[in-house]
Structure 1
Amino acid sequence: MAKHRMNVAEMVEAFIDPDAPLQVTAFDGSHCGNDDAQLHLEVRNSRAVYYIFENPNDLGLARAYLQGDIASPELTPGDPYEVFKQLQELQAQFHKPTAATLANITSSILSHGFHVPKPPEIELPSVAKRISEGILPHTKKGDAATVSYHYDLSNEFYNLFLGPSMTYTCACFDSEDDSLEKAEYNKLNLVLDKLNLKSGDYLLDIGCGWGSMEVTAAKRGIHVIGVTLSEEQVQWANDWIRKEGLEDLAEVRLEDYRDIPESGFDGICSLGMMEHVGHKHYPAYFKEMLEKLRPGGMLLNHQITRTNSHQGKRAGGFIDRYIFPDGELASPGEIEYVINNVGFEVINQENLRQHYALTLMNWNKNLQRNWKKAVDMVGEQKARLWGMYMAGSRFNFEMNTIQIHQFLCIKPDPETGTTTYPLRPWWPRH
């Protein structure tokens, strides 16, 4: 007897309890769930089914969402956070179908023909494909390509959600009611305070972004060099520096951190750049930083981390293809292990996980507020992509799936030993 050909609603019902607060309607006329369900999803075409069948993970769902193949009246493109929360709550009501049911789902899909739909046009090739094209992970060429992909999008687009500070890293909030701009400048000043820099000192900023640190430091009389691999960021940052009349104190260069000729800096900061370095390259990276500091100089390393060392280093398929190609994260313990081994002394470690969730909440609000402008600038797919990425990141920080740490480190001075910094933390609370 031939097996029953399952429709889309029946495939969904094979994975979720019948009383789950979810309603699904599909292009084939099938539906499941009640009208008063908490979440309503519409599967608009067969491409969505094939995307998820090929990649039953975040990559398949992302492809379908970016193409508009899956929709929901509860879903706000600039800030789909609430839908992510609802999907997470539904996980408790998901179950694994029997092998026979899975086989029937497979045969039902393939009975319509074997299709591998093209991914969205904004998706990057796989790691294997990039390597075959000579773009090797964490080489100078590879880093330049991946950084350019992420950051050379549109300065004006980033300005829509980052706001006037143009600071694309975790802010620091005194309270949840703080404005994003205030919290971002709290963070910039916290970094400078932790580094114990004074007027006339020299700072190196690795992965400087659009220049907010350069302007903030120069206004305090600190000489600062920022480096980035993004041409768009260099132009924006140097224009900003000129407008502020700070050219005698600050500059931003299109330069790989491995090619910086200067050394003897009083301080170095790296804010949100380590995600691009690659775990195997941490020793070489921190050794480079150690050599560029004077004895007694300090490094402030600020990076997203895994919650523990049991989690894998590489990002998932969605992040690798759409957000941070070749991005890798490690646990705070693994990072501190490397920092110590290259010769630094770690003075302080601080987890700002909750602050990043608040930062992302504000970025999503800004994107939603400027949604039409965003779509006009970069197109519907890329605007949806950034809304989804930021909302998903916020959710993961809230759930403690990922964290973000600041490591304050000092290069030991062989002549003065350990008496090179105050006995107690000297930076004010922000």
Structure 2
Amino acid sequence: MTIDVGVRLSIAQALERLMKDGMPFRFEAYDGSVAGPEDARFNFRLLNERGLAYIMTAPGDLGFGRAIVAGDLEVDGVSMGNPYDVLSHVKSRLSLKMPSPAEVLQIVRSLGFANLKPPPPPPEEHLPKWRRALEGFRHSKTRDAEAIHHHYDVSNRFYEYVLGPSMTYTCAVFPDADATLEEAQFEKYDLVARKLDLKPGDRLLDVGCGWGGMVRHAAKHYGVKVIGVTLSEQQALWAQDEIKAQGLDHLAEVRHGDYRDITESEFDAVSSIGLTEHIGVRNYASYFSFLRDRLKDGGRLLNHCITRRDGSLPPSPGAFIDRFVFPDGELAPVGRIVSAAHDNGLEVRHVEDLREHYALTLKGWNENLEAHWDECLDEVSLGTAKVWGIYMAGSRLAFERNELGLHHVLAVKVGRDGDAHFPLRPTWAS
């Protein structure tokens, strides 16, 4: 087909040119153009030129995410607290084609070369990677602290609404399909404790402890002396107050700082629940070496983290997640994690994938955000609330479709005589 680059396209026509199998939704643009079936389940409305510029200058999830977060692209009748249905619909039916150079020229001429100048990003967006470099090398202590601050120091009250009473921002473990989110979070902490074989009087180090859920669980239910550490000041303050409120301060403490600043050693166990995603794949060797050195012989490490499906995928979780959610976050397949642990003085004894459980966890968080939408908007901006709705619903889809996994890797520090202090068979029920 010959393309006449001089023929002007409407916004809707330009979008249709990119669709391989037609529009899976209704689309209306501010220039009055429309496309897609009239009876489509979802209707997208592009409200202004800034939204068009966002999409043109960052094609893909980042551009569309910017337009939605800024309020320039809307979906009729969809709760942004739980946009799972629309994301599932689009992902299942959207098929894009690669336009020819002539088509690209025609689309750009039609929509305007001026829209190739990026507008200022929404205020909820973090700095691009090249700007972050001014804060220090990737995963330096300074840069990691800023990345954690961006995501976690939002509003503890906001997190209470979204996460529920447990204040646990990691994958739960559902003992059955009818379990509540709170029951599943209790089971997660208890499963970690059982895998670590915690006993009264043991010493536990919990790195990346968040609001101290594992810290309190181990102290309260297992009589363990626990040190937790988090880079988020707001998390540390909340956790310290809750520890005191529950009368656990004789056993438990949470420190505001970098896990790499922990000097104590000879711990009976180390738990790392949701930290590995933030440390960088290249730092796995130093990470596992550091945790190994905190353990006594026979001490166990439970590493709980999100993983890639396989090694063909890049470590970066995508542009939208990197800019709006987890700056500098990286993921790897479970084999990379197992190898890194083994190569740095730990012996892996058990691996378990809990990806379906994370899909259920995210479903619960989205439902909480939707149910408490108005209260959440008293705590954070509308854009931030939208970011959370999109990212949690999109992540749920990724776990359901085996694009992401959630792995427990249980390892032990073996003594010089080869004694792992490990039973012949597992003693926990999964």
The alignment's TM-score, normalised by the length of structure 2, stands at 0.96
Shift of 1:118: 1.0
Shift of 1:312: 0.8
Shift of 1:19: 5.2
Alpha-carbon deviations, 1:198-231, whole Å to 9, x = none? 0110000000000111111111211100000111
User: Contact 2:227–2:252 (CA<8 Å) still a contact in 1?
Assistant: yes
Judged with a 3 Å threshold, the aligned counterparts in structure 2 of structure 1 residues 363 and 345 are, in CA distance, closer, same or farther, namely same
The one-letter amino acid paired with 1:89 is S
Are 2:203 and 1:188 aligned? no
Superposed, which structure 2 residues align to 1:272-351 within 5 Å? Answer: 272-351=274-353
Residue 79 (structure 1) aligns with:
82
Q: Distance in 1 between matches of 2:295 and 2:130?
A: 37
Residue 421 (structure 2) aligns with:
420
Q: Distance in 2 between matches of 1:402 and 1:114?
A: 33
Alpha-carbon deviations, 1:342-384, whole Å to 9, x = none? 1111010000100000000000000000000111110101111
Superposed, which structure 2 residues align to 1:27-426 within 5 Å? Answer: 27-92=30-95, 94-110=96-112, 115-131=117-133, 133-219=134-220, 220-415=222-417, 417-418=418-419, 420-426=421-427
User: Contact 2:16–2:22 (CA<8 Å) still a contact in 1?
Assistant: no
Q: What do you get for the CA RMSD once the two structures are aligned? A: 1.5
User: Contact 1:135–1:145 (CA<8 Å) still a contact in 2?
Assistant: no
Are 2:25 and 1:22 aligned? yes
The one-letter amino acid paired with 2:305 is Q
Alpha-carbon deviations, 1:61-110, whole Å to 9, x = none? 11001011111124211011111111112224x33333322210011122
User: Contact 2:267–2:295 (CA<8 Å) still a contact in 1?
Assistant: yes
The one-letter amino acid paired with 1:23 is R
Judged with a 3 Å threshold, the aligned counterparts in structure 2 of structure 1 residues 8 and 305 are, in CA distance, closer, same or farther, namely same
Alpha-carbon deviations, 1:113-168, whole Å to 9, x = none? 6542111012111110111x233210111111111111111110001010000011
Q: Distance in 2 between matches of 1:419 and 1:17?
A: 57
Alpha-carbon deviations, 1:291-341, whole Å to 9, x = none? 110000000000111111111112321111111111111110111111001
Alpha-carbon deviations, 1:2-33, whole Å to 9, x = none? 71221111012112257544211110011112
Shift of 1:111: 5.3
Residue 10 (structure 2) aligns with:
7
User: Contact 2:228–2:255 (CA<8 Å) still a contact in 1?
Assistant: yes
Alpha-carbon deviations, 1:379-420, whole Å to 9, x = none? 1011111111111111111111111101000000223x2461
User: Contact 2:352–2:409 (CA<8 Å) still a contact in 1?
Assistant: yes
User: Contact 1:74–1:83 (CA<8 Å) still a contact in 2?
Assistant: no
Q: Distance in 1 between matches of 2:87 and 2:110?
A: 28
Shift of 1:57: 1.4
Judged with a 3 Å threshold, the aligned counterparts in structure 2 of structure 1 residues 419 and 301 are, in CA distance, closer, same or farther, namely closer
User: Contact 2:172–2:181 (CA<8 Å) still a contact in 1?
Assistant: yes
User: Contact 1:18–1:33 (CA<8 Å) still a contact in 2?
Assistant: no
Judged with a 3 Å threshold, the aligned counterparts in structure 2 of structure 1 residues 21 and 194 are, in CA distance, closer, same or farther, namely same
Q: Distance in 2 between matches of 1:111 and 1:57?
A: 19
Judged with a 3 Å threshold, the aligned counterparts in structure 2 of structure 1 residues 46 and 173 are, in CA distance, closer, same or farther, namely same
The one-letter amino acid paired with 2:200 is S
Shift of 1:34: 2.5
Judged with a 3 Å threshold, the aligned counterparts in structure 2 of structure 1 residues 356 and 2 are, in CA distance, closer, same or farther, namely closer
Q: Distance in 2 between matches of 1:26 and 1:382?
A: 25
User: Contact 1:306–1:329 (CA<8 Å) still a contact in 2?
Assistant: yes
Judged with a 3 Å threshold, the aligned counterparts in structure 2 of structure 1 residues 20 and 61 are, in CA distance, closer, same or farther, namely closer
Q: Distance in 2 between matches of 1:129 and 1:393?
A: 26
User: Contact 1:176–1:358 (CA<8 Å) still a contact in 2?
Assistant: no
User: Contact 2:24–2:90 (CA<8 Å) still a contact in 1?
Assistant: no
The one-letter amino acid paired with 1:53 is M
Quote the sequence identity (%).
43
User: Contact 2:61–2:320 (CA<8 Å) still a contact in 1?
Assistant: yes
What SS is found at the alignment partner of 1:34? coil
User: Contact 2:57–2:115 (CA<8 Å) still a contact in 1?
Assistant: no
Q: Distance in 2 between matches of 1:313 and 1:20?
A: 31
Q: Distance in 1 between matches of 2:265 and 2:13?
A: 65
User: Contact 2:414–2:420 (CA<8 Å) still a contact in 1?
Assistant: no
User: Contact 2:366–2:393 (CA<8 Å) still a contact in 1?
Assistant: yes
Q: Distance in 1 between matches of 2:153 and 2:12?
A: 41
The one-letter amino acid paired with 2:13 is E
What SS is found at the alignment partner of 1:313? coil
What SS is found at the alignment partner of 2:223? coil
